[in-house]
C-alpha cells in the first residue's frame, strides 16, 4: 500500500511573532517603505501621463510645497489642522476605541460655531461671540463623540460603525442648517451671508492662529497622554480591560471621558475651519476635508506616539500640498489624484507593521518522513 498520508510536509516558511525591533531598524523600515511608495507613485504617474519621468515627480513635489511662502504657510496650516485632529483621535485609539467619527465631530463643532456666529454676531460684543463659539463647538463636538461612547460603554455597541454613521448624521445636520439659513434654494452657504463681527481674530497672518492652536493642542495632548493620571488610566483600559478593572479603574467612565476630550478637540478644529476672519468662514458638507479619516491614518501610522504622529502628519500634508504641482507637471486631471499616491504610501506603511511584528523563517529544506 502506498501510504501518501504519511508524508509530512513542512510549509515553505513559518510566520511567528518576533521581539521588538530596535528604533533604528524600525526607522529604516519606515523610511524605506515611504520611499518605495513614492517611487511607485512616480512610476505610475510617468506611465499615466503622456510625458514626464519619475525624477520630475520628486522635483515637482518639492516645487509644489516650496514655491512660495504662502504655500509653505498653507502647508503648515493644513498640518496643524491634521495634527490637531490626530491628537484628538490619539486618546481614543490608545484606549482601543475606533473613533472613525472625526469628520462628524469636526462638522458639528463647525456647525455650532456657525450657529453662534449667525445668531450672535454683531448682536453682542465680538469677544463674547468668539468665547461662546469656542465653548459651543467644544461642547457639541464632545457630545457627538460621547453618544457612541456611551453605547459602547453600556451595551458594547460596535463603535467603528456607530461613529461612521454619526459622520453622515452630522452631514445631514449641516445640510439642514444650510437649508434653514439660506433662502432661495441654494445648497451652499457663502461667506458673505455671515456677519463680520464675532469671527476669530487674525493673528499675524491668516494662518498663524490655526498653527498656534494646533501647537497648543499638540502640547496638551502630549502631556495629557504621557504624564497625567487620566492619560495613564486610558492607556490601561486600552492595554487590558481586565487589569483596569482589577486595579479599580472605572472603565465605563474612562471611555466616556476620553471620548468627550476627543470630540471637544475635533470641535475646536471645526471652529478653526469655519468662523475664520478670512476666505470662507461658512460651513459646508465638505468642511471637514475628510481630515477625520486622514487623521485615523496618521495616528495609526504614528503608532500612537505623538512625535511619530507629528512626522506622519507632516508627510501627509507635504504630499497633499505638493501633488497639485505634480499633477500640473504631468498634465493629469482629476482632483483625487493625490489620493493614489497617499494610498500607496499608506499601504506600504501598513505592511510595515507586519515586518515589525512578525518574522518569517524559511525552512531550510523540505523534509519527508520515511
Q: How many CB atoms lie within 10 A of CB 177?
A: 16
Of the two residues 24 and 185, which places its CB atom closer to other proteins in the complex? Answer: 185
Among 27, 53, 119, 175, binds other proteins (CB under 8 A): 175
Window 87-126: residues binding other proteins (CB under 8 A): 98, 100
Separation between Cα atoms, residue 91 and residue 94, nearest integer Å: 5
Window contacting other proteins (CB under 8 A); options: 7-15, 121-129, 252-260, 267-275: 7-15
Separation between Cα atoms, residue 360 and residue 13, nearest integer Å: 6
Q: How far is CA 125 from CA 117, 136, 156, 203, in A?
A: 11, 16, 45, 19
Which residue in 98, 85, 144 sits closest to 288, CA to CA?
A: 85
Query: Strands 358-362, 13-17: parallel, antiparallel or unpaired by DSSP?
Result: antiparallel
Window 238-257: residues binding other proteins (CB under 8 A): 239-240, 242-243, 245-249
Q: Is 53 in the site for other proteins (CB under 8 A)?
A: no
- Tell how far CA 101 is from the center of its chain: 10
Window contacting other proteins (CB under 8 A); options: 63-71, 269-277, 307-315, 337-345: 337-345
CB of 58 to other proteins, least distance (A): 18
Q: Is 22 in the site for other proteins (CB under 8 A)?
A: no
CB of 92 to other proteins, least distance (A): 12
Separation between Cα atoms, residue 236 and residue 255, nearest integer Å: 11
- Tell how far CA 258 is from the center of its chain: 17
Query: Exposure of 188 by Cβ count < 10 A (0-12 exposed, 13-18 middle, 19+ buried)?
Result: exposed
Of the two residues 14 and 70, which places its CB atom closer to other proteins in the complex? Answer: 14
Of the two residues 210 and 320, which places its CB atom closer to other proteins in the complex? Answer: 320
Of the two residues 66 and 232, which places its CB atom closer to other proteins in the complex? Answer: 232
As a whole number of Å, the end-to-end CA separation of the chain is: 14
Window 186-205: residues binding other proteins (CB under 8 A): 187
CB of 319 to other proteins, least distance (A): 12
Site size with other proteins, rule: CB under 8 A: 79
Q: Is 36 in the site for other proteins (CB under 8 A)?
A: no
Amino acid at each position: 500500500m502506498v501510504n501518501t498520508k504519511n508524508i509530512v510536509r513542512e510549509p515553505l516558511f513559518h510566520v511567528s511573532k518576533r521581539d521588538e525591533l530596535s528604533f533604528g531598524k524600525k526607522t529604516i523600515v519606515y523610511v524605506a517603505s515611504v520611499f518605495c511608495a513614492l517611487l511607485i507613485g512616480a512610476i505610475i504617474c510617468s506611465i499615466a501621463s503622456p510625458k514626464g519621468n519619475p525624477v520630475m515627480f520628486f522635483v515637482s513635489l518639492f516645487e509644489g510645497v516650496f514655491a512660495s511662502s504662502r504655500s509653505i504657510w498653507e502647508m503648515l496650516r493644513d498640518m496643524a489642522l491634521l495634527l490637531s485632529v490626530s491628537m484628538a483621535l490619539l486618546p481614543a485609539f490608545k484606549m482601543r476605541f475606533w473613533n472613525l467619527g472625526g469628520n462628524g465631530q469636526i462638522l458639528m463643532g463647525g456647525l455650532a460655531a456657525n450657529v453662534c456666529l449667525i445668531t450672535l454676531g454683531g448682536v453682542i460684543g465680538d469677544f463674547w461671540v468668539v468665547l461662546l463659539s469656542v465653548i459651543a463647538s467644544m461642547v457639541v463636538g464632545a457630545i457627538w463623540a460621547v453618544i457612541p461612547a456611551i453605547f459602547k460603554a453600556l451595551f458594547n455597541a460596535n463603535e467603528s460603525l456607530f461613529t461612521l454613521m454619526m459622520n453622515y448624521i452630522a452631514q445631514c445636520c449641516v445640510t439642514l442648517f444650510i437649508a434653514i439659513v439660506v433662502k432661495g434654494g441654494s445648497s451652499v452657504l457663502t461667506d458673505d451671508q455671515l456677519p463680520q463681527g464675532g469671527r476669530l481674530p487674525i493673528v499675524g497672518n491668516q494662518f498663524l492662529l490655526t498653527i498656534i492652536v494646533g501647537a497648543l493642542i499638540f502640547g496638551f495632548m502630549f502631556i495629557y497622554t504621557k504624564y497625567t493620571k487620566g492619560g495613564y488610566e486610558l492607556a490601561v483600559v486600552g492595554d487590558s480591560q481586565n487589569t483596569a478593572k482589577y486595579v479599580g479603574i472605572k472603565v465605563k467612565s474612562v471611555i466616556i471621558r476620553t471620548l468627550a476630550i476627543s470630540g471637544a478637540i475635533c470641535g475646536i478644529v471645526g471652529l478653526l475651519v469655519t468662523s475664520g476672519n478670512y476666505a470662507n468662514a461658512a460651513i459646508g458638507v465638505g468642511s471637514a476635508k475628510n481630515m477625520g479619516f486622514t487623521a485615523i491614518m496618521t495616528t495609526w501610522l504614528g503608532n500612537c506616539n505623538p512625535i511619530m504622529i507629528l512626522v506622519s502628519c507632516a508627510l501627509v500634508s507635504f504630499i497633499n500640498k505638493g501633488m497639485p504641482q505634480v499633477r500640473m507637471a504631468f498634465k493629469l486631471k482629476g482632483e483625487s489624484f493625490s489620493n493614489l499616491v497617499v494610498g500607496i504610501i499608506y499601504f506600504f506603511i501598513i505592511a510595515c507593521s507586519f515586518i515589525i511584528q512578525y518574522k518569517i523563517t524559511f525552512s531550510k529544506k523540505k523534509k519527508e518522513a520515511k
